[in-house]
Amino acid sequence: MLAHVTQSRPGEIPVEVDVRDLRRAARPAAPPAPWLFATAMAGSMAIAAGGGLALGVLAATSTGIARQRWTEVVQAHGHLQLFGWAAVFVAALAFEFVTRLNQRPPLAALPRAVVLALLAAGAVVTAIGPVFGQGERATGLAGAGLLLAGAAGFAWLLARVPAARPFRMDMHPLFFRAGAAWLVVSAGALLLAFVRTDLPFVALADSNLVVETGLRGFVLSLIVGVGLRAFPGHLDVAPMRLRSQRFVFVGINGSTLLWVAGTSGFGLGGFAEVQRTADLLFAVTLLFAAWESGVLRVVSRWSARSERYQVLVPVAWFALVAYAIGLAVMAVDSWAGGELNLYQAGAVRHVFLLGFMGPLMLAMAHIVLARFGTGRVIGERWLTAGFVLLVAAWPLRVAPPLVDPEVGQAAEAVMGVAGGLAMVGLALAAGVAAWNALAIRAAWQSQP
């Protein structure tokens, strides 16, 4: 093969060009750490399956360390799921989406990796004390400090990405930034909760504020922010109208602020009526978003030619509708003088976690592992199997406390089965994400 070619135009002196230089110039530049998002997805789901859900099963069945330290185990389970799983997974994909949707170059790998590592490490450290029964407050403070640093770094990185269009024309960057701010609030509240406590666990009202701001403000804002731009292309639905986007934005953030205003955590007065009003407003916002997004209507177009994710994504959104209805019923029942116990309130929350958030993550993984990776999902059937197991798990986790408010042995056994199914489902998904991360790395390294 010739090592050089001559390029010239009429009247010009011939110039020799090395063919290898042409090849290097034609080769697309590799994005920084293209495998990082898949690695973070795998790590977050491994934390959820091997840590958070393992503790959840112990708490649900009151076995092992949960017999003596049930409250500590439940809170460690919650911190691992909210920060180790949801925050890491959502942040990793937010870094990918925010630059693509705003037509900007990828963010540098190091700051992204640092933020993701801080979130994962913070979640694990906060769980160490309750699991081993020593140094709960010290490890809680250390872990919450790491989480706050990671959340602040996440918000800073997102804020540095300029929006492609003015907010009056496209609101999706505002959902990203508001969600990042709520993650800072959630992590900061956890740190303050550990500062305030002298017990091996934080106060229930403080913990509720941490979880609700994390789920409602952070997780849902980022999901909607991505969906505003991703769903029209992938699900073939009409873009959400701008006035509808505004209603959803105000509904999510306004109801979350109202819920915080009614909290009894951190020594505040506590106004149950205000929180129930916030719950009802949040439920209405969710139902409106589910309808206006057009995701639910995709079901009418299902056929043998539908992409797999076009079937999976609407299934997850139907669980969001179930959560909104459950939340509204809980609010109305509270106004009528009723009150759900701790198990029942947790059941409603798990409709969001196991019914909507988890399955949607796995459904979206079918898209992002292919689009941001090698062009296809390696092990796609296993990823779909993980989705099916999560969908099967959430009714088993939710129904027992609603049927048996006292949660007897039979209810505990069913919830334990649900936890086991979810563990296997997330473990399968973590394995698929890790497999694809290795394939993405190998694909870029093998390019000439």
Domain ranges across the chain: 32-261+270-445
Residues whose CB falls within 8 Å of the CB of residue 343, separated by 6 or more in sequence, listed in order: 401, 405, 407
DSSP string, 131-193: HHTS-HHHHHHHHHHHHHHHHHHHHHHHHTS--SS-TTT--HHHHHHHHHHHHHHHHHHHHHH
DSSP run (H or E) holding 383: helix 380-403
CA dihedral (140, 186, 401, 57) positive or negative: negative
In terms of Cα–Cα distance, which of 327, 446, 430, 444 is closest to 39?
Answer: 430
Residues whose CB falls within 8 Å of the CB of residue 405, separated by 6 or more in sequence, listed in order: 341, 343, 344
Query: Could you tell me which CATH number the domain at 32-261+270-445 has?
Result: 1.20.210.10
Q: What is the pLDDT along the chain (448 residues), one digit of tens a residue?
A: 444 444 444 444 444 545 454 444 445 566 789 999 999 999 999 999 999 899 999 988 888 888 888 888 999 999 999 999 999 999 999 999 999 988 899 999 999 999 999 999 999 999 998 877 777 788 999 999 999 999 999 999 999 999 877 777 778 889 999 999 999 999 999 999 999 988 888 899 999 999 999 999 999 999 999 998 889 988 889 999 999 999 999 999 999 999 999 999 888 888 989 999 999 999 999 999 999 999 999 999 898 888 999 999 999 999 999 999 999 998 888 887 777 778 888 899 999 999 999 999 999 999 999 999 889 999 999 999 999 999 999 999 999 998 888 888 898 899 999 999 999 999 999 999 999 999 999 988 887 6
Residue 318 burial by CB count (10 A; 0-12/13-18/19+): exposed, middle or buried? middle
pLDDT of residue 27: 53
Structure tokens at 160: 């540095």
Query: Following CA atoms 245, 251, 256, 259 in sequence, which dihedral angle do they give, to the nearest 10 degrees?
Result: 180
The CA-based angle 322-404-57, given to 5 degrees, is 75
Report how far residue 219's alpha carbon sits from residue 227's, in angstroms, rounded to the nearest whole number: 12
Report how far residue 112's alpha carbon sits from residue 431's, in angstroms, rounded to the nearest whole number: 22
